[in-house]
Amino acid sequence: MPLHPSRDVFITCAVTGAGDTTGRSDKVPVTPEEIAAAAVEAAKAGAAIAHIHVRDPATGKPSRDLGLYREVVRLIAGSGVDVILNLTAGAGGDLVLGSPEAPLPPDPAGTDMAGAEERLAHVAELRPEICTLDCGTMNFGEGDYVMTNTPAMLKAMAARIKALGVRPEIEIFDTGHLVLAKWLKDQGLIEDPVMVQLCMGIPWGAPDDIPTLSAIMQNLPNDWTFSAFSIGRNQLPYAALALAAGGNIRVGLEDNIWLKKGVLATNGDLVERAVQIAEGMGSRIMKPAEVRAKLKLERRW
């Protein structure tokens, strides 16, 4: 894979996610106040974009509650700190089958399947500058959970996102997801400039090795803007690899809770380390206003 180092780079911080991390680190934000504070902390450390999920404050489990999103956005908008908001639209595509011997009916404890309009209700009301579009279906973990995004669902969601005037961030978890993203683009459902997030190293998707990244890069259109990340202990090394490939950086507690062995991180810690990596490689960190100009985003707050 040839080197095309990014000279101007933006950092996305995924501050909480939907994974079962709250029991392993008390630094993972749960309440709207904690999530908003984490986004502000990340922005002050150098992140131009904050990627937002919400959680049930009582249980810490992932949530799609519109009121929680509303409160997080209100708090960030009122902070006086400039940061681009990227709200997840991945919730509502969670299928947990019953068991290997009795897959149907699905397990109601983990299954959350919703229609396109419902999955985008918070995006429609709050109009973030960016929201995610998980461009495919994939097994997760060792159980019966399937991240479910059919082509028909993605067409409906992409059309709705376009109508709302929100920039989709296309989440690519495996090589075939890029093919699906190109298919949506060819139908006019995704507008330029196209923004892609390469989600690497997540079982059972694309591994975070260099040959797999190289294969994706060879098929990624030259005019698409991309970021790339890996999870766990490879998150920070992958920041350097993403830059070397010509991309941008994503870090945050959604994907990794450690700053180094035995030391739990905050979102601010991870962004600060990403800034050090980027500047050490000769890159300049872009401000939110510069990212808006690059991606043709409209500031809403």
Task: For the chain, list residues with pLDDT below 70.
Answer: 1-3
pLDDT of amino acid 34:
98
pLDDT confidence of residue 1:
62
Nearest to 257 by CA among 63, 23, 41, 11: 23
Q: Name 158's Cβ contacts closer than 8 Å, sequence gap at least 6.
A: 133, 168, 184, 189, 190
Distances (CA, A) of 269 to 117, 166, 172, 260, 263: 36, 29, 26, 10, 11
| 27: amino acid identity, one letter | K
- What is 8-295's CATH topology? TIM Barrel (3.20.20)
Positive/negative CA dihedral, 63, 146, 176, 227: positive
- Would you say how long the chain is, in residues? 301
Query: Six-digit token pair at 257?
Result: 């809770």
Q: What is the pLDDT of residues 20-74, one digit of tens each?
A: 999 999 999 999 999 999 999 999 999 999 999 999 999 999 999 999 999 999 9
pLDDT at 5: 78
Beta carbons of 73 and 85 less than 8 angstroms apart? yes
Residue in this structure with the two tokens 């810490």, named with its chain if needed: 60
Which residue in 93, 95, 11, 88 sits closest to 54, CA to CA? 88
Output the pTM of the full model: 0.96
pLDDT digits (tens, 9 = 90+) for 187-204: 999 999 999 999 999 999
Instruction: Determine the pLDDT at residue 2.
Output: 60
Which H, E and C letters describe the chain, residue by residue?
CCCCCCCEECEEEECCCCCCCCCCCCCCCCCHHHHHHHHHHHHHHCCCEEEECEECCCCCCEECCHHHHHHHHHHHHCCCCCCEEEECCCCCEEEECCCCCCCCCCCCCCCEECCHHHHCHHHHHHCCCEEEEECCCEEECCCCEEECCCHHHHHHHHHHHHHHCCEEEEEECCHHHHHHHHHHHHCCCCCCCCEEEEECCCCCCCCCCHHHHHHHHHHCCCCCEEEEECCHHHHHHHHHHHHHCCCEEEECCCCCCEEECCEECCHHHHHHHHHHHHHHCCCEECCHHHHHHHHCCCCCC
